[in-house]
């Protein structure tokens, strides 16, 4: 009888921790993963001629797509921009 009460006591003490983890997962982890997946899909879909904004605030046009970076043009300058530093695509 005491073994059953001991197991129930452990289970009841774990319920608040499980609830906190579930809340944390649904409020923070899951939305962040969805956002990362959406950003990755956006990066894969970018093509030459698309206009993008970098996390540094530079607005530029993609000239060439490479494996780890894009060759971009902003005004008269042409530079390499690492894929992960593209914030979003400018929709026209």
Instruction: Give pLDDT tens digits for 16-75.
Output: 999 999 999 999 999 999 999 999 999 999 999 999 999 999 999 999 999 899 999 999
Supply the CATH number for residue 59's domain.
2.30.30
86 and 51 in one domain?
Answer: yes
Q: How many domains does the chain have?
A: 2
Return the pLDDT at 79. 95
Return the pLDDT at 4. 57
Q: Which of 41, 80, 75, 39 is nearest to 59 (CA)?
A: 75
53 and 92 in one domain?
Answer: yes
59 and 29 in one domain?
Answer: no
Q: How many CB atoms lie under 10 A from the CB of residue 87?
A: 13
Instruction: Provide the residue range defining the domain that includes 83.
Output: 47-92
């Amino acid at each position: 009888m005491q073994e059953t009460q001991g197991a129930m006591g452990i289970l009841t003490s774990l319920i608040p921790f499980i609830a906190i983890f579930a809340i944390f997962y649904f409020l923070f982890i899951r939305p962040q993963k969805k956002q990362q997946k959406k950003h990755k899909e956006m990066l894969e879909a970018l093509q030459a001629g698309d206009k993008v904004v970098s996390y540094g605030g530079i607005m530029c046009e993609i000239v060439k797509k490479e494996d780890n970076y894009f060759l971009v043009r902003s005004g008269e300058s042409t530079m390499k921009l690492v894929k992960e530093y593209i914030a979003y695509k400018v929709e026209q």
